[in-house]
Amino acid sequence: AQSVTQPDIHITVSEGASLELRCNYSYGATPYLFWYVQSPGQGLQLLLKYFSGDTLVQGIKGFEAEFKRSQSSFNLRKPSVHWSDAAEYFCAVGPRGYQKVTFGTGTKLQVIP
Amino acid sequence: DGGITQSPKYLFRKEGQNVTLSCEQNLNHDAMYWYRQDPGQGLRLIYYSQIVNDFQKGDIAEGYSVSREKKESFPLTVTSAQKNPTAFYLCASSLTGGEGYEQYFGPGTRLTVT
């Protein structure tokens, strides 16, 4: 069965600092990988996805993520965080050819001035 | 604009009552999903449907029921058998076929049962 681990429950960064959110997955083959963002009381918005090809994926709002097969990781990065990036971030994994995905427990990002 | 609507945004019910949460999409997606979100637990899949008149249980289906009579609609009923129904409920949809597609989410319904 597939699983996703987001080891950091809460992260605080200063505005303008770089950000890396960790995501590790467990799956027997190359999965589909996603990062979503959720503002309080709202639905989830897709930031980026990896299906195949280039392992460095660019997303919206200046985010990027890198798929590292050898480390079973799909970490999310942003070079300079803005106060509006404060939200909860979810990593998700899904098997190819199948719609069901598994979500991590989320990382809550706080941005301080 | 295409998207997913969930209504109402806030819902209050007394214990022992069934309640139905609405989910409608105009994205022409075949697949629809219901998730439950509790603090610190991420999203857990309740039910999903890949085609009209067909649906499958997810990881936490007990105490919930769904129907899929129309492509656009996937209502979720929280029954009195659900032991802890207070939560934030999210509906999503996606394309099917090919190797897979991302899910699009509605704004959610917060259900409080007292």
* H/E run at residue B89: strand B87-94
Judged by average pLDDT, the poorest of A13-22, A23-32, A81-90, B60-69 is A23-32
Chain B residues closer than 8 Å to A49 by CB: 102
pLDDT above 80: residue A12:
yes
> Residue B42 is nearest to which of A51, A90, A99, comparing CB atoms?
A90
Q: HSE (CB half, 13 Å, CA atoms) of A1?
A: 4
Across the interface, whether the CB atoms of A94 and B100 are under 8 A apart is answered yes
| B42 touches A at CB < 8 Å | yes
Asked if the C-beta of A60 comes within 8 angstroms of chain B's C-beta atoms, the answer is no
- Indicate the range of B54-68, B71-85, B95-109 predicted with least confidence: B95-109
How far does A107 lie from chain B, in Å, by closest CA? 9
User: What is residue A89's predicted lDDT score, i.e. its pLDDT?
Assistant: 98
- Residue partners of B95: CB distance under 8 A and separation at least 6: B29, B30, B31, B101
Using alpha carbons, list the distances in angstroms from residue A101 to A12, B84, B91.
28, 24, 14
pLDDT in tens, A42-60: 999 999 999 888 899 999 9
Mean pLDDT for A99-106 is 88
Which DSSP string do the residues of A10-77 spell out, in sequence order? EEEEETTS-EEE--EEE-SS--EEEEEEE-TTS-EEEEEEE-SS-SEEE-GGG-EEEEEGGGTEEEEE
Encode burial over B73-108: b for 16+ CB neighbours within 10 A, e otherwise: ebbbebeeebeebebbbbbbbbbeeeebbbbbbbbb
**Taking all residues of chain B, what is their mean pLDDT, rounded to a whole number?**
93
CB A89 within 8 A of CB A23: no
Distance of alpha carbon B33 from alpha carbon B74, whole angstroms: 8
Instruction: Give the confidence band of A28 by pLDDT, cuts at 50, 70, 90.
Output: confident
| pLDDT value of residue A30 | 78
The 10s digit of each residue's pLDDT in B11-45 is 999 999 999 999 999 999 999 999 999 988 889 99
